[in-house]
C-alpha cells in the first residue's frame, strides 16, 4: 500500500510567516519614549515693594537660530553639537521666557500695567529679551550653559536704554548631572536673571527720580 505523500506547504508557510514577523520587527521597531522638560514660573522668596513706574510692553523674545527649536541641544567639548530627538522642551523657549517675564512683572508691581506684544495700549517702556545660548555640555563633568540678554527701553524720543542685564552662565550641572538637573538649572538661572533685571530697572528709576 502506497502511503500518500505529506505536503510540505504548511511548513513552508510557517517559515515564511516567521520571516515576515522578524523583518517587520526590524523595519518597525517599538517607538522610543520622548521626555519633555518644563520651564515654570516661581515667584522670588520675597517680592519687592510695588513701585508702578510706568506701563510696559513685553515683546516676544528672540532665540539664536541654533537653539530655536524644542529639541535640547547637546554639545561635547568641541564646536560640534546635536539635537536630542527624545528629550525636548515642553514649550517653545521664546514662549516660556515671555511667560516668565509677564508673570513676574504682573506680580512684582514694578510697572503699573503689563502689556503683551500685540495688546492694545500705549507703553512707556518696552522689554526686549534674547536667548543667545542654551545647551547641555556632556563630558566627565557635565555643564549647563545659558546666555541671556534683557533690555528695558523707553519708547519716548530715541528709545534710550533704561536698564540692561546680561547673563553668561557656564557652570557644572548640579546634583549628579543629567538632563533633569540641567532643566532645573536652566529654570533657576532664567528666573534669577529676571529678578536681577528687575532690580536694575528699579535702580535706574531711582536714579532718574533723584536727577529730576
Whole-number pLDDT of residue 92: 97
DSSP state letters, 132-176: EEEEEE-SSS-EEEEEEEEEEEE-STTT-EEEEEEEEEEEEPSTT
Confidence label for 38 from pLDDT (cuts 50, 70 and 90) = very high
Whether residue 84 lies inside any domain: the answer is yes
Whole-number pLDDT of residue 44: 86
Q: How far apart are CA 142 and CA 182, in angstroms?
A: 9
Whole-number pLDDT of residue 5: 53
What integer is the mean pLDDT of 60-81?
A: 94
Phi, psi angle pair for 148, to nearest 5°: -130, 150
Q: Which domain holds residue 114?
A: 35-211
Whole-number pLDDT of residue 65: 97
Whole-number pLDDT of residue 57: 96
Phi, psi angle pair for 7, to nearest 5°: -75, 140
Task: Point out which residues pair with 165 in neighbouring strands.
Answer: 150
Whether residue 17 lies inside any domain: the answer is no
**Cβ–Cβ under 8 Å, residues 135 and 125:** no
Percent of the chain with pLDDT over 90: 64
Least trusted range by pLDDT, from 19-28, 58-67, 149-158: 19-28
Whole-number pLDDT of residue 130: 98
Total tally of structural domains belonging to the chain: 1
- Strand 125-137 to strand 143-154: parallel, antiparallel, or no bridges (unpaired)? antiparallel
Total Cβ atoms within 10 A of residue 131:
21
Whether the predicted pLDDT of 147 surpasses 80: yes
Higher pLDDT, 4 or 134: 134
What integer is the mean pLDDT of 156-180?
A: 90
**Cβ–Cβ under 8 Å, residues 201 and 152:** yes
Higher pLDDT, 86 or 16: 86
Whether residue 197 lies inside any domain: the answer is yes
Whether residue 89 lies inside any domain: the answer is yes
**Model-level pTM?**
0.82
Quote the mean pLDDT of the chain.
86
Residue 99 belongs to what H/E stretch?
A: helix 93-108
Provide the CATH number for the domain around residue 74.
3.40.50.10610
Least trusted range by pLDDT, from 37-51, 118-132, 135-149, 182-196: 37-51
Whether residue 104 lies inside any domain: the answer is yes
Whether residue 186 lies inside any domain: the answer is yes
Higher pLDDT, 142 or 78: 142
Phi, psi angle pair for 33, to nearest 5°: -80, 135
Whether residue 2 lies inside any domain: the answer is no
Confidence label for 56 from pLDDT (cuts 50, 70 and 90) = very high
Q: Tens of pLDDT along 105-134?
A: 999 989 999 999 889 999 999 999 999 999
Q: Is 106 helix (H, G, I), strand (E, B) or coil?
A: helix
What integer is the mean pLDDT of 165-190?
A: 95
Amino acid at each position: 500500500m502506497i502511503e500518500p505523500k505529506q505536503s510540505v506547504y504548511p511548513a513552508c508557510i510557517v517559515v515564511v510567516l516567521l520571516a515576515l514577523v522578524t523583518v517587520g520587527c526590524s523595519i518597525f521597531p517599538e517607538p522610543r519614549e520622548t521626555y519633555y522638560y518644563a520651564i515654570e514660573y516661581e515667584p522670588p522668596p520675597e517680592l519687592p515693594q510695588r513701585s508702578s513706574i510706568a506701563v510696559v510692553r513685553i515683546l516676544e523674545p528672540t532665540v539664536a537660530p541654533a537653539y530655536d527649536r524644542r529639541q535640547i541641544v547637546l554639545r561635547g567639548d568641541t564646536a560640534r553639537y546635536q539635537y536630542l530627538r527624545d528629550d525636548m522642551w515642553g514649550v517653545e523657549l521664546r514662549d516660556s521666557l515671555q511667560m516668565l517675564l509677564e508673570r513676574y512683572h504682573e506680580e512684582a508691581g514694578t510697572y503699573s500695567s503689563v502689556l503683551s506684544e500685540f495688546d492694545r495700549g500705549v507703553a512707556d517702556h518696552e522689554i526686549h529679551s534674547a536667548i543667545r545660548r542654551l545647551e547641555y555640555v556632556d563630558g566627565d563633568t557635565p555643564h549647563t550653559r545659558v546666555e541671556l540678554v534683557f533690555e528695558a527701553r523707553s519708547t519716548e524720543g530715541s528709545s534710550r536704554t533704561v536698564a540692561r542685564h546680561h547673563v553668561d552662565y557656564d557652570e557644572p550641572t548640579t546634583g549628579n548631572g543629567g538632563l533633569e538637573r540641567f532643566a532645573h538649572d536652566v529654570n533657576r538661572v532664567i528666573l534669577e536673571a529676571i529678578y536681577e533685571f528687575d532690580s536694575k530697572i528699579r535702580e535706574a528709576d531711582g536714579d532718574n527720580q533723584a536727577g529730576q
